[in-house]
């Protein structure tokens, strides 16, 4: 078994990128081997396959070192394969996969422990206690405590019957051994020591093998630090492999091992600086593992010290872990993400964030995020939320009626892009960023945005605070509790928004360099627009009405602005659509682009769709072609018709109510025909239709008239 320094990398030519959509939906126990960092503390790589064959899935957030062709499961790496010696080709490899979100601890599992063993100081001693858990098969579990560094005593802390779905949390160090009956997870905040075989009742005595189908027992071993094979007589101390006897060497391990903050490794590795030094060689046997291993950093199970120290490996996967897991780790049972992460790419399902800091977070459609507390989730670099209209992303508090927060706090280094996301009222948004682009999203709680801001087609139901020192563009959005504008906006615009129903001011402008406010409805607030800056914003074509204290405070209304009831459907229920007799229809700035119905832009976030009267239209054959120019038109309109044969066509100009404004008949020749319409008796700008009748079939062309 060889360990080599990282000197150069030979990359695999490979491989397959299929089946990546499930990478983040599985718990840690799903993977046969899962590692966050492959480099050891001595800057070495331990190459997979050299110590023995591997049959399950290997996943790493690092380079994946391969030293043998005896790897029969899938390999997933967030970087690339590297090889010792010749390059080896495999059929089932995923390179450059998103990193697995390796947590610092499992708060959810700890908080749901059936038995909680507290950290205590032993009387007359300055050290902490050691907890010793001995599994006794069908007789249940004995839990002892004794002063660390002293011989064990019969200090029984608790005895429990055969566990069924039990979680035992130990605040401190723990020693584990015995025959496991039932389903149990042991979780320790300190190092976990394996002091003898820890295997399922009914497994094979010599190596812990068992027939997985229908097997009833399952074990999880989790440490916030390291999981360490104790150097003692049962585990092969003093070159136990050469002493014979199954109880004098090797260790059998059944279950899922997770070392969240350290490694799965062994005690007394015979490094020169260690006080304890074993014999030459110090070969202790094999690690017979039937289950899975997850570790923050790859740990040694064998060293070259003393002509060989440690264990060979004999790993077998437990196929049951693909569909079930130890208590707290079944698929769908692991909702918590906490600690620090470089990148998280969520895939599907529900995620709970508690005291989490992540540099880059990507959230796809359909995901639900639950936030636990004021420091639930902080993004430092990049936040991307890509919901869809059919599958929006939901962000809400974990506990109903409790407050939570989502923060972006890296200032001019952070980028935020959000679409189709719904934020609940108990989630406070605090974003400090370089650039934010958000559209078609709903914010029910308070919002604090600072940076370059681009908001389009969003809904805000609590106070919104916008601070920008450069760009701020807010379009087609609704604000049910008003907004504050601060900073020194140099390129700012509020266009076609609806700010309605706040008991405070609709818009407070504190400071700006260049700010355009046009085509907005600001109604039924305290003050409509409250300009506290010494200069006036560029305001025009706004509707400010029914604001209890003043419609325009510290500013001029500007060209085209009105103070008339905007006649929305029901603003108190956030129904802001314009009724058909609203004065805001076709009353926006005529220099703006037309509304989607090709009429003059309306005032407010929601345009009034000029639905035409019911038209029974029979398609005209493709070889009958009509074009008009210009559109929009004013004093005249050119009409070009291409027809395959000579015949007559009837035409009429019709308004949106179906009333005929003018009409007539044209004689068509074969081929191209050009006509000009003048003096159409049209006085009102808006949508019109040019209707054609030909041999009992009809055709309409939609037109815009702008005087």
- For the chain, which residues make up each domain, given as ranges? 1-102, 112-322, 336-578, 625-705
Measured CA to CA, the distance from residue 624 to residue 440 in angstroms comes to 41
- Mean pLDDT for the stretch of residues 74-85: 90
- pLDDT tens track for 182-201: 999 999 999 999 999 999 99
Measured CA to CA, the distance from residue 30 to residue 26 in angstroms comes to 6
If you count DSSP H runs as helices and E runs as strands, how many of each does the chain have, helices first? 1, 57
- pLDDT tens track for 514-569: 999 999 999 999 999 999 999 999 999 999 999 999 999 999 999 999 999 999 99
Which residue do the tokens 């609590």 mark? 462
Give per-residue burial for 163-199: e unless 16+ CB within 10 Å, then b.
Answer: beebbbbbbbbbbbbbbbbbbbbbbbbbbbbbbbbbb
Q: Which residues contact 171 (CB under 8 A, 6 or more apart)?
A: 116, 117, 118, 119, 188, 189
What is the 8-class DSSP label of residue 595?
P
Average pLDDT, the chain: 87
pLDDT at 55: 84
Place 439 in a pLDDT band, splitting at 50, 70 and 90. Answer: very high
Maximum Cα–Cα distance across the chain: 114
- pLDDT tens track for 233-247: 999 999 999 877 888
Please give the residue that has the higher pLDDT: either 70 or 537: 537
Q: How far is CA 590 from CA 518, 674, 686, in A?
A: 11, 30, 11
- pLDDT tens track for 600-634: 999 999 999 876 554 455 555 666 788 888 877 87
Among candidate residues 254, 164, 261, 268, the one with its CA nearest the CA of residue 211: 254
E strand intervals along 205-306: 218-223, 227-229, 251-259, 264-266, 282-297, 302-303
pLDDT at 154 over 70: no
Measured CA to CA, the distance from residue 592 to residue 604 in angstroms comes to 13
Measured CA to CA, the distance from residue 293 to residue 35 in angstroms comes to 8
Please give the residue that has the higher pLDDT: either 646 or 38: 38
pLDDT at 349 over 60: yes
Among candidate residues 341, 377, 375, the one with its CA nearest the CA of residue 360: 341
pLDDT at 657: 66
Three-state SS at 234: helix
Highest mean pLDDT among 2-16, 53-67, 432-446, 563-577: 432-446
- Mean pLDDT for the stretch of residues 659-667: 86
pLDDT at 614: 47
Q: Which residues contact 450 (CB under 8 A, 6 or more apart)?
A: 431, 432, 433, 466, 467, 468, 487
Three-state SS at 522: strand
Place 20 in a pLDDT band, splitting at 50, 70 and 90. Answer: very low
Measured CA to CA, the distance from residue 542 to residue 515 in angstroms comes to 14
pLDDT at 22: 37
- pLDDT tens track for 218-236: 999 999 999 999 999 999 9
- For the chain, how are helix, strand and coil distributed in percent, rounded to 5? 5, 45, 50
Place 454 in a pLDDT band, splitting at 50, 70 and 90. Answer: very high
Place 6 in a pLDDT band, splitting at 50, 70 and 90. Answer: very low
pLDDT at 474 over 60: yes
> E strand or H helix at 111, and its extent?
helix 107-111
pLDDT at 333 over 60: no
Q: How far is CA 175 from CA 184, 195, 197, 226, 264, in A?
A: 15, 6, 12, 12, 14
Place 412 in a pLDDT band, splitting at 50, 70 and 90. Answer: confident
pLDDT at 685: 74
CB neighbourhood size of 577 (10 A): 16
pTM: 0.51
Q: What is the CATH number of domain 625-705?
A: 2.60.40.1930
- Mean pLDDT for the stretch of residues 304-321: 94
Q: Which residues contact 459 (CB under 8 A, 6 or more apart)?
A: 441, 442, 443, 477, 478, 480, 574
- Mean pLDDT for the stretch of residues 131-139: 95
Whether residue 96 contacts residue 90, with contact meaning beta carbons closer than 8 Å, is answered with no
Place 4 in a pLDDT band, splitting at 50, 70 and 90. Answer: very low
Place 19 in a pLDDT band, splitting at 50, 70 and 90. Answer: very low
> E strand or H helix at 385, and its extent?
strand 377-386
Cis peptide before 630 (omega within 30 of 0): yes
pLDDT at 611: 65
Burial class of 581 by CB neighbour count within 10 A (0 to 12, 13 to 18, 19+): exposed
Highest mean pLDDT among 83-87, 161-165, 349-353, 489-493: 489-493
| Strand 404-409 relative to strand 218-223, pairing | unpaired
- Mean pLDDT for the stretch of residues 104-122: 80
Cis peptide before 407 (omega within 30 of 0): no
Burial class of 264 by CB neighbour count within 10 A (0 to 12, 13 to 18, 19+): buried
């Amino acid at each position: 078994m060889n360990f080599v320094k990282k000197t150069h990398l030979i990359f695999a030519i490979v491989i397959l990128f299929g089946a990546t959509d499930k990478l983040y939906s599985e718990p840690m126990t799903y993977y046969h081997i899962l590692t966050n960092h492959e480099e050891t503390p001595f800057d070495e790589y331990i190459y997979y396959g050299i110590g023995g064959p591997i049959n399950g899935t290997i996943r790493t957030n690092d380079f994946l070192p391969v030293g043998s062709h005896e790897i029969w499961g899938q390999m997933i790496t967030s970087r690339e394969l590297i090889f010792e010696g010749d390059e080896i080709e495999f059929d089932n490899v995923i390179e450059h996969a998103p990193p697995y979100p390796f947590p610092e601890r499992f708060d959810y599992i700890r908080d749901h422990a059936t038995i909680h063993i507290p950290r205590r100081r032993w009387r007359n001693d300055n050290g902490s206690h050691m907890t010793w858990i001995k599994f006794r098969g069908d007789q249940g579990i004995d839990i002892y405590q004794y002063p660390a560094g002293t011989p064990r005593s019969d200090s029984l802390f608790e005895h429990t019957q055969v566990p069924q779905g039990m979680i035992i949390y130990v605040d401190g160090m723990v020693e584990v051994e015995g025959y496991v009956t039932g389903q149990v997870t042991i979780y320790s905040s300190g190092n976990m020591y394996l002091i003898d075989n820890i295997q399922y009742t009914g497994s094979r005595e010599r190596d812990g093998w068992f027939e997985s189908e229908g097997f009833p027992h399952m074990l999880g071993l989790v440490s916030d630090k390291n999981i360490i094979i104790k150097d003692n007589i049962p585990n092969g101390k003093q070159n136990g492999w050469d002493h014979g006897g199954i109880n004098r060497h090797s260790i059998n391990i059944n279950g899922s091992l997770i070392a969240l903050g350290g490694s799965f490794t062994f005690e007394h590795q015979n490094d020169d600086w260690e006080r304890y030094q074993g014999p030459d060689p110090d070969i202790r046997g094999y690690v017979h593992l039937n289950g899975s291993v997850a570790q923050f950093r790859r740990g040694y199970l064998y060293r070259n010290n003393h002509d060989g120290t440690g264990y060979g490996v004999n790993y077998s996967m437990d196929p049951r872990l693909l569909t079930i897991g130890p208590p707290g780790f079944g698929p769908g049972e692991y909702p918590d993400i906490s600690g620090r992460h470089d990148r998280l790419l969520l895939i599907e399902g529900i995620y709970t964030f508690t005291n989490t800091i992540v540099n880059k977070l990507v959230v796809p459609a359909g995901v639900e995020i639950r936030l636990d507390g004021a420091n639930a989730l902080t993004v430092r670099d990049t936040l991307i939320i890509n919901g869809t209209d059919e599958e929006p992303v939901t962000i809400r508090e974990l506990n109903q009626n409790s407050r939570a927060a989502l923060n972006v706090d890296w200032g001019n280094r952070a980028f935020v892009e959000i679409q189709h996301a719904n934020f609940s009222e108990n989630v406070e948004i605090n974003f400090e960023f370089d650039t934010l682009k958000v559209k078609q999203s709903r914010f029910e709680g308070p919002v604090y945005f600072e940076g370059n801001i681009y908001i389009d087609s969003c809904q805000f139901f609590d106070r919104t605070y916008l601070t920008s020192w450069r760009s701020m563009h807010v379009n087609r959005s609704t604000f049910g509790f008003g907004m504050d504008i601060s900073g020194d906006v140099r390129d700012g615009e509020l266009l076609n928004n609806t700010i309605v129903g706040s008991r405070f001011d609709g818009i407070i402008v504190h400071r700006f360099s260049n700010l355009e406010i046009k085509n907005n409805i600001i109604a039924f607030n305290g003050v409509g627009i409250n300009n506290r800056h010494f200069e006036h914003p560029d305001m025009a074509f706004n509707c400010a009405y029914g604001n209890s204290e003043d419609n325009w405070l510290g500013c001029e209304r500007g060209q085209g602005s009105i103070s008339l009831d905007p006649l929305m459907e029901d603003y108190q229920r956030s129904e802001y659509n314009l009724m058909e007799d609203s004065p805001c229809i076709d009353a926006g700035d005529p220099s703006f682009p037309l509304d989607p119905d090709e009429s003059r832009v309306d005032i407010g976030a929601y345009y009034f769709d000029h639905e035409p009267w019911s038209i029974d239209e029979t398609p005209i054959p493709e070889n009958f072609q009509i074009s008009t120019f210009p559109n929009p038109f004013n004093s005249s309109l050119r009409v070009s018709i291409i027809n395959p044969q000579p015949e007559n066509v009837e035409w009429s100009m019709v308004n949106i109510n179906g009333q005929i404004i003018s009409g007539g008949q044209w004689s068509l020749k074969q081929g191209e025909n050009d006509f000009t319409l003048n003096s159409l008796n049209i006085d009102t700008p808006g949508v019109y239709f040019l209707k054609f009748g030909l041999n009992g079939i009809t055709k309409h062309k939609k037109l815009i008239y702008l005087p």
